[in-house]
Amino acid sequence: MAVIIDGDQLTDSEMQKIANWTHLSETTFICSPTNPEADYRLRIFTPHEELPFAGHPTVGSARVALNNGIKPAHEGYLVQDCGKGLVKIYIDGDQLSFALPTPKITSVTDELNEQVAKALGLSNTSKVTLTEMVDVGAIWLTMGLKSAQDVLSLDPQDEQLVKLLPTGTTGVTVFAPQESADSDFEVRSFAPVEGVHEDPVCGSGNGAVAALIKSHHLLNKQKYIAHQGQKMGRNGIINVNLNGNNPILVGGQAVECITGQLRHS
């Protein structure tokens, strides 16, 4: 992802053109807050459109904000102003964790479940354990599979998914238990509707997964680790705290890899 500082200087159209030019899963713009409770306002764009919220951009942009002199008004956490409202981002050393916006979970028809499974490369739904639509600001058709190998073996057909997904859906996030000493779940996120074949690490997708794990009591502990990005040569590590009756916390570490200046005309 890319983070642009001084977003106040850009129009909506210019932001979208820059996001299309970078052609990353998300490009964000740090702006002055419109809410006095917030430390900054964040605009989040895919190559195709603006999103009200996204997880990975929230964590990455918070790291850039801290690295570039934004001081939290509250001890221990930042407050981000975005299309989904105010989002708290807790600071624990190098770890940043956002409070997931309240999830809205709706059912998926058997027909859509079967069609999406086939578009992902599954011959049938025998390996599917759970499918629901989860809205956390970004809307993910979220599908559970029986094993991590099932997740890693997927070969999604972008054109089919674009035709199948209901209007407004960000994409498909798939997860399964991971029998590993350092990970509890394997996750993959596909968003061809947004011009993104696969997201190497997806905070909102993992938030959708966490919402299902919590609502369906799929885990007997409050904290877990998910891995994502293996098929893309990445090693994304996502820390999740189901957090009892409080908002789910999703977090990890973000590192600035490239810095520079962007000129636009």
- Known catalytic residues are 26
Neighbours of 245 (CB within 10 A): 5
H helices present in the chain, as ranges = 12-22, 55-67, 110-119, 148-152, 158-164, 203-215
Packing angle, helices 203-215 and 55-67, rounded to 10:
130
Cα 191 to chain centroid, rounded: 10
Q: How far is CA 106 from CA 84, 99, 136, in A?
A: 19, 21, 12
Residue 14 burial class via C-beta count within 10 angstroms: exposed 0-12, middle 13-18, buried 19 and up: middle
> Which 8-state DSSP code applies to residue 105?
E
